[in-house]
Amino acid sequence: MTSPSYAARRGQLETYFDRTAVEAWSRLTSDAPVSRVRATVRAGRDAMRETLLSWLPADLSGRRVLDAGCGTGALSLEAARRGATVVAVDVSPTLIGLARERTGAIAGGGSIDFRVGDMLDPDLGSFDHVVAMDSLIHYSGHDIARALAELGGRTRGAMVFTVAPRTALLTLMHAAGKLFPQADRAPAIVPITTRGLARRIAREPDLAGFALARTHRVNSGFYLSNAVELRRCGSSADPRRAPSPVPARVGAAGPEGGAR
């Protein structure tokens, strides 16, 4: 069951991504020319997407993947090209509409089911893997842990996601972000320390079967983001790729509060 704070923030995100900054995010997630600042954000998002995808099996045939907060569907498309059956969900009908327009024929045998709704909706079913790129960073530590617990109960393998770090650099980025037009600002992100995240995860009984496998930070201009992998104990990484190093820090943040 989601908390009132989760529901309130979800409503703010729906308003922002569906009505306030549609044009800005449409350009950012395309190959259209953007400002120098947004170019660094785009590069950072591309790098983060590649990181999260690299943590999934190279061959996703027969696997069911949830793209939680899929935005315009770039990550969903790459997972489907590896053979995955992807359920791609977002609160914004406009972003889902863009995703459907941009997704043509899929080579590789996979498929994408784009849906408008809540990423925690139990009716979405169970999954082999869950990906949540920059879709949890706007929520409190308590709501992040509860969201992971709800998703974990329906995840057979790994959950890969991003969280917002509490750093001096991020504080400066927040201040600079306030200089952008109001229409271009997403709802504020909620930073959380590594220890804080670990403590909250440890308190969730539904996450007892998961272990923090690795993290990786992406820093590109106005994009500062850390990927985190929670892997169900007993599930193994794809044997066809070498394991990635595990950096010491955990956290994540997007431009002026996030990117889709």
pLDDT in tens, 153-206: 999 999 999 987 776 666 565 555 555 555 555 567 788 877 888 899 999 999
Q: What is the pTM for the complete model shown?
A: 0.85
What type of residue sits at position 41?
A: V
Q: For residue 184, how many C-alpha atoms fall within 13 Å in the half-sphere facing its CB? A: 14
Q: Given this model, what pLDDT does residue 20 score?
A: 66
pLDDT-above-70 percentage for the chain: 81
Going by the DSSP 8-state scheme, the letter that residue 71 receives in this structure is T
Residues contacting residue 162 through CB under 8 Å, at least 6 positions apart: 48, 132, 133, 134, 136, 137, 225, 226, 227, 228, 252
pLDDT, tens digit (0-9, with 9 covering 90-100), for 21-40 = 677 878 888 889 889 989 99
Q: What are phi and psi of 155, to 5 degrees?
A: -120, 125
CA–CA separation, 49 and 3 (whole Å):
28
Q: What is the C-alpha to C-alpha distance for residues 219 and 234, in angstroms, rounded to an integer?
A: 32
C-alpha to C-alpha distance for 139 and 136, rounded to whole angstroms: 6
Q: How far apart are CA 62 and CA 24, in angstroms?
A: 36
Domains in the chain, CATH or no CATH each:
4-257 (3.40.50.150)
